[in-house]
């Protein structure tokens, strides 16, 4: 699984990155997590509000932090 956390470095973006890392580890998933901070690369995903979460090339969340159960659902779907 390939996960990208999109964000320019704001508090919510950093929190999403940490939350995603923790959840992946807790679930024991085989995943790579990449943090993308370049605004032009973020815009290529069509994301205009950060933080954003991309799983296997699909944008699943933008503009907010997910609830824990919501993040688990994204990652195990």
DSSP tag of 56: T
Q: Which pLDDT does position 67 carry in this prediction?
A: 95
Is 45 within 8 Å of 59 (Cβ atoms)? yes
Tell me the pTM: 0.94
Query: DSSP H helical segments within 28-67, as ranges?
Result: 39-44
How many percent of the chain have pLDDT more than 70? 100
Residue 56: which CATH number? 3.40.30.10
How does pLDDT run across 19-49, given as a tens digit for each residue? Answer: 999 999 999 999 999 999 999 999 999 999 9
Q: Where are the beta strands (DSSP E) in the chain?
A: 2-6, 32-36, 52-55, 58-62
At 35 the pLDDT is 97
Q: Residue 19's domain spans which residues? A: 2-76
Confidence of residue 70 (pLDDT cuts 50, 70, 90): very high
- Residues with a catalytic annotation lie at 10, 13
- Number of domains composing the chain: 1
């Amino acid at each position: 699984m390939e996960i990208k956390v999109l964000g320019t470095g704001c508090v919510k973006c950093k929190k999403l990155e940490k939350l995603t890392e923790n959840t992946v580890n807790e679930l024991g998933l085989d995943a790579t997590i990449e943090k993308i901070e370049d605004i032009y690369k973020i815009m290529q995903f069509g994301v205009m509000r950060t933080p954003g979460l991309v799983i296997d090339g699909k944008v699943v969340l933008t503009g907010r932090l997910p609830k824990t159960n919501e993040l688990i659902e994204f990652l195990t779907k």
